[in-house]
A = this chain, B = another copy of it.
Amino acid sequence: MDQPNVWKRLRALDADVTRLGHIAALLEWDQETYLPEAAVEERAAQIALIVGLHHDRIVAPEWGELFAELDNGAEVGADGDEVRAAFLREARKRWTKKTKVPRELVEDIARESSLAQAAWAAARRNDDFSSFAPHLEKIVGLERAYAEAVAPDADPYDTLLDEYEPGATGDEIASVFDELGRGLSSLLGRIRSGREPDSGFLDRSYPVAEQDAFGRSVQEFMGYDERRGRLDLSAHPFTTTLGPDDVRVTTRYDEDNVLSGLFSNIHEAGHGLYEQGMGDELRASLLADGASLGIHESQSRFWENFVGRSRAFWDRWFPDFQCRFTENLKGVDAAGFFKAVNRVRPSLIRVDADEVTYSFHIIIRFRLERDLIHGRLAVGDLPEAWRTAYRDLLGITPPNDATGALQDVHWSVGLFGYFPTYALGNLYAAQFTQVMEQDLGPLDERIRNGDAGSILAWLRTHIHAYGRVYPPGELCRRVTGGDLDPRCFLEYLELKYADVYEWG
């Protein structure tokens, strides 16, 4: 084969893989938004068919032939071309990993996850951990087998983590989380003795149509491009990419919880902006994706917390918000609203957590799941370990397993190594923000002036445009000059909560 053809064929193979992934994403998006209720079962069969075709293309022998050509010296112009080099790195990594996993194991995981997810839903409904335990044991076993197949000599937890946060290790995250946990505990102590903001007006009823109109205005302000995406409703908010110019977000509105929908709108649009910001030369390739889930989460959390929960944001937006809900917000001002949306209350439920306590939920899950994979914790002992951890870190104890060890769907579907990325998002966001402010000056001024455009442009230039060209650790070093570090995030929280809890 002549050499330019190697590159062309690699790109063509990958374009098909990417497109099949987008087609699977459409089947899933439709399932969560518009699928008729009777069609759920058949949709699962359709998704399984596409996922199978997607997998076939990922492990196609042609990849191996082309890599052999490269090994034999075929020139594909990757010298000095970062994008080509990254493409080859990621393509080789994917192919090598996926071809190592026996098809039987892939099918076992798919089947057992499906059963375990159903068992988990029933167990949570009935608060009956024991009915879920045998399923979770199977899943843990399969995940260890998966890690063993991919990298027999590596720490199995690191192998699983690498799926979501390439290059990260459990040891590194444990040490970062230790420091983070200590800092948060100290902060939480001070908050507890601070003055809790008044937030009774949040418990009123906020009409959904106005929530939607406001949420869309904010997404537009952020720069989310409706020509290349759309907002729909679903039971659980998510962002999905169906093509380079088709990045859709969803939300849900609750009349009795106005913040839930609004911050979902902002959070998902943050993810959406990352996907909409991928560089043109990455289009329809495996590089047009987040560098990692942690980096992806840094973008959603940046907009949700660093922007959407900032004093400057509400200085800018509160008048509009108040006009839409005049009855509810009589006598409230921007400063009061800012404080209310930032009230801190240790709770049992991760998804309801504030910025301070959120990371505790993640630290707990990380420690428990790592111990499960390492065999240091038995599935049967999980509920008690969960209770102990919540008591120790948050000072509250789940009264049952439904709000304890059965709380999240993740483990039932085999997502081990996924939880840490939620907390990494906060840390990366804080580190990126610090550099952004060195470049642009105070964020608050820009937000107060309605200038989200320069903020988005900075994110585009420094993060979005690169997609998966750099692994997350390298991206972090390129942007910030340093490694993952919890101190930035802790400093940011210190400053913010001194204001909210008035000890400043």
Q: Which residues in A have some Cβ–Cβ distance to B below 8 Å? A: 16, 19-20, 22-23, 26-27, 30, 34-39, 41-43, 45-46, 49-50, 53, 225-230, 232, 242-246, 248, 284
Contact = CB atoms under 8 A, between A and B. Distances in A.
Contact of A39 (B16, B41, B42, B246): B246
B36 A20 contact: no
Nearest to A16: B49
Given A46-B23, A50-B23, A53-B53, A242 B39 contact: yes
B19 A45 contact: yes
9 contacts: A23-B46, A23-B49, A34-B232, A36-B245, A38-B225, A42-B246, A43-B243, A45-B284, A46-B243
Nearest to A42: B243
Contacts of A228: 36, 38-39
**Listed residue (A23, A27, A226) with the most chain B CB atoms within 10 angstroms of its CB:** A23
B37 A22 contact: no
B230 A34 contact: yes
A-B interface, 4 closest residue pairs, ranked by CB to CB distance from nearest = A39-B246, A38-B245, A42-B243, A39-B245
Nearest to A284: B42
A67 to B, nearest CB: 23
B227 A38 contact: yes
A26 B30 contact: yes
A19 B49 contact: yes
Contact of A245 (B42, B53, B225, B227): B42
A56 B212 CA distance: 45
Contacts of A226: 36
A19 B45 CA distance: 8
Contacts of A243: 39, 42-43, 46
A27 B23 CA distance: 8
A271 B379 CA distance: 53
Contacts of A20: 49
A225 B46 CA distance: 21
A225 B20 CA distance: 31
A233 to B, nearest CB: 13
Nearest to A33: B34
Nearest to A283: B42
Contact of A246 (B19, B36, B53): B36
Contacts of A22: 46
